[in-house]
Structure 1
Amino acid sequence: MRARPLLLSSLLVLGLNLGLTATPALADAPPQWQPDTAADHSAESQREIGLAHANRQAYDQALKWLESAAEAGNARAKVNLGYFHQEGLGMDPDGPQALDWYERAVKAGRTDHATRVAWAYLEGDWVTPDRATAEHWFQVAIDAGHHEAHLGIGSVLLSDVVGSGNTELAERAQAHFEAALEAGLDMGSYYLARMYREGIGIEPDPERALDYLYLGARSADTQINAPMQAWLAEMYYAGEGMDEADKVEAASWAWLAAANGHPDGERLVEAIGAELSEGERDEARERAWRRAGGE
């Protein structure tokens, strides 16, 4: 489970809405681009005019205004231009040019897009894959306080460790996941639990794995809590990291995983539940209900 950037959809670029509603002054007739006209507007105003044209699908005009805004130093316009080139709005799609605009946006202050650039270099989106350059952009994001980049580079390092067993890389990955968790990103607990449970580059430590699983299992994000609830069910069933197995507790976590949509949840509920008495099943459901209510 890698922490990938959010998918771009519609006219959204990582939270930046290209379908921005025009201001009342521009709602009726955004001006046509002319050098003299552009000079009368601030860079942000030029960007808004460009977006007003984009809303009307007048992409030629939109591009002129956005390029003018970008030349005037508007970082948000550079992000918009990246999306235009990526999606081929008013032109043929041009991935390398899109990436160039995203890089310019980051350098102009939109460091929230540095992780996007990092993944492009890592996975070869529009450019020859370049691991060193990808790590550079992840670090740019981290230095700017975008902690999701810890998850990005950490997951990359963890993949390296799975293939090599390199303990030095494991230590680096672990440090990134711990930093992400300290910054409030629950996904960090997922990776740390996995490392300790499976012994990826470190000595297996089921008790430490349980500590991180408890953290993640209580996350408000079902993409994080559901798999970790399923893992807890498996560990309680097998008695991993504890003195003895507890099938009632295992069933309780399995019910939570199933309720949160994890594909293993129903399987675990059925398999574990078949070994319990009716009273034990009732107790497991009661525990799951209490936890779901905010225990």
Structure 2
Amino acid sequence: MKNTLKIILLLLVACGVYLFVFYKTPEQRAFEKTLAAAQAGNAEAALAVAGLYAHGTGVKPNGAQAAEWYRKSAADGSAEAAWKLADLYIQGTLVPQDLEEALAYIQLAARQGSARAQSELGRFYAEGLANLPVNRGEALYWWLQAAEAGDESAQTAEQDARLEEPELYEEVKRFLSVVKRAQEGDASARLEAGQGFRLGYPVARNDEEALRWFTLAWEEGEKLPQAAYELAQMYQKGEGVEKNEARAMELFGAAAQAKNPDAQYTLGTFAYGANPPKYEDAFAWFSNAAAGGSAQAQYMTGFMLMQGQGTNLSVPLAVKFFRDAAEQNYVAAQYVLGQIYWKGLGVPADKKAGEEWLQRAADNGNESAKALLAEK
């Protein structure tokens, strides 16, 4: 009898050990199945495994493993994974808090349309988190998108901004509408979006975004010459792209041939500043840009006519171009035109006209004009 009881006891212990070692709950079996699918390359399973590790469902909570699987899923294009990985680093419970690491994935998810990430990115810019410079315009830019998608915290932030910063609110709202039209393929909107991102108003400066929109505005659809000019400047200065003088000159030339006054003026300055100067080329580019309305080109055309550089000397023509530039409030032209009339340089002296132009230059801050007026 005693032996029978011992055998039964041993069997019970063995069963207990077996159940303890080998028994798996439905959650554990589901986890293993999902993990196997994730390891086989299933993108949805990778996201699910990350969540199981994060919540400890069917497996012990493991922040490192959750982060690793979220990272893999984010690399495969999951905005949800990018946001959840960012949130892990923001919360700092399963992994050490790291706002700078979080920011990279917030930005990734926000660009992919995650309303929660867009709302949080707005907060980062509003509060200057992760070493970001505080930028209320950029914060609003993301809050507006998140609010439109239904994020309640973003909707509250939008309402506050509308009351507290109405002018900025309207500027950002208008710019966002420009970006949306750019996304739909509108060439003018693409150019304007690029200019806003390059200027850094009303949102934060973003050279990569500027380059992208300018490229689309030049290479697709209407092929806007101003976009080629903007791109040329970015390649010349290495803004958002590796510096490339050859590409810059190619784009300046294309824009100039398409009658872009800014590009024509730029080529004129290159020719004028060459060693030795290429005056005839410079005058040709300046005069073409002047015809397109460029005030600085009108001034340089007048200057070269006054000096007889690259063209026949002609004071009357020079005066015409100086006047064209001066009437566009180009200060250097106002000062020179004032001098010409004041001193009678190649034209009959006209003190009244000279004083008027000198005064306009002085009002615009020209110190030489102020000094000349003080001598009268």
TM-score tier (shorter): 0.5 to 0.7
Per the alignment, residue 322 of structure 2 pairs with 216
Q: Indicate yes or no: 2:210 matched with 1:98.
A: yes
- 1:41 corresponds to which residue? none
**Cα distance in structure 2, aligned partners of 1:88 and 1:229:** 35
State the partner residue of 1:47: none
Q: Is the 8 A contact 1:233 1:253 kept in 2?
A: yes
Aligned partners of 2:306 and 2:318 also within 8 Å: no
Distance 1:89 1:195 in 2: 39
Separation in structure 2 between the aligned mates of residue 177 and residue 148 of structure 1, nearest angstrom: 10
Q: Deviations over 1:211-268 (max 9, x none)?
A: 21233225521216413313414762xxx547xxx6x53x344312222124222322
CA contact (8 A) 1:229 1:254 kept: yes
Question: Residue type matched to 1:261 in 2?
Answer: A
* 1:130 partner letter: N
1:226 aligns to 2:329 (yes or no)? no
Structure 2 contact 295–330 (Cα < 8 Å) conserved: no
Aligned partners of 1:103 and 1:117 also within 8 Å: yes
- Could you tell me whether the CA contact under 8 Å between 2:334 and 2:357 is conserved in 1? yes
Count the aligned residue pairs: 210
TM (norm. structure 2) is: 0.43
Larger Rg over CA atoms: 2
- State the partner residue of 2:276: 165
In structure 2, how many angstroms separate the alpha carbons of the residues matched to 1:177 and 1:89? 33
- Whichever structure has more helix as a proportion of its residues is 2
In 1, the alpha carbon distance for the partners of 2:234 and 2:327 equals 29
For 2:173, the equivalent position in structure 1 comes to: 55
Partner SS state of residue 228, structure 1 = helix
SS of the residue 2:273 aligns to: helix
Find the aligned partners of 1:74 and 1:193 in 2 and give their Cα distance: 38
Asked if structure 2 preserves the Cα contact closer than 8 Å seen for 1:196 and 1:208, the reply is: yes
Report the residue type matching 2:281 in the other structure. R
Alignment partner of 2:267 out of 127, 137, 153: 153
Pairing 1:179–2:285 present? no
Counterpart code for 1:229: L
Judge conservation of contact 2:298–2:321 (CA < 8 Å) in 1: yes
Query: How far, CA to CA, are the matches of 2:285 and 2:258 in structure 1?
Result: 15
State the alpha-carbon separation in 2 of the partners of residues 79 and 187 from structure 1.
Answer: 23
Q: Distance in 2 between matches of 1:187 and 1:81?
A: 25
Q: For 1:235 and 1:214, locate their aligned partners in 2 and report how far apart those are by CA, in whole Å.
A: 17
| Alpha-carbon distance in structure 2 between the residues aligned to 1:78 and 1:189 | 29
> Do the aligned partners of residues 131 and 231 (structure 1) sit closer, same or farther apart at CA in structure 2, a change above 3 Å counting?
farther
Work out the CA distance in 2 between the residues paired with 1:31 and 1:112: 34
Unpaired runs of 5+ in structure 1? 1-9, 12-17, 23-28, 34-50, 274-295
**In 1, distance between residues paired with 2:196 and 2:287?**
37
Give me the CA root mean square deviation.
4.5
Where in structure 2 are the equivalents of 1:247-262 lying within 5 Å? 248-249=349-350, 251-262=351-362
SS of aligned partner of 1:260: helix
Secondary structure, counterpart of 1:173 in structure 2: helix
* Contact 1:142/1:149 (8 A) holds in 2: yes
TM-score (ref. length: structure 1): 0.53
Corresponding residue of 1:75: 187
Q: Is the 8 A contact 2:308 2:314 kept in 1?
A: no
Work out whether residues 118 and 137 of structure 1, in 8 Å CA contact, stay in contact via their aligned partners in 2.
Answer: yes
The CA distance in 1 between the partners of 2:369 and 2:320, in whole Å, is 17
Match for residue 48 of structure 1? none
- Tell me the amino acid that sits aligned with residue 165 of structure 1: P
Partner of 1:134: 248
SS at match of 2:185: coil
Distance 1:212-1:77 versus aligned 2 partners, 3 A rule: closer
Q: Is the 8 A contact 1:216 1:228 kept in 2?
A: yes
Distance 1:193 1:120, change over 3 A: same
Distance 1:67 1:184, change over 3 A: closer
Tell me if structure 2 keeps the 8 A contact 1:232–1:253: no
Q: Which has the higher contact order (CA 8 A, sep 6+)?
A: 1
Q: Amino acid of the residue matched to residue 369 of structure 2?
A: G
Post-superposition Cα deviations, 1:32-78, rounded to whole Å, max 9, x if no partner, equal 69xxxxxxxxxxxxxxxxx99x5299xxxx69x958963x5343554
Residue 139 (structure 1) shift = 2.9
Query: Aligned to 1:73, what secondary structure does the other structure show?
Result: coil
Separation in 2, partners of 1:84, 1:190 = 28
Corresponding letter in the other structure for 1:172 = D
Counterpart residue number, 1:117:
231
Q: Which of 193, 207, 212 pairs up with 2:302? A: 193
Identity percentage of aligned residues: 17
In structure 2, how many angstroms separate the alpha carbons of the residues matched to 1:153 and 1:82? 22
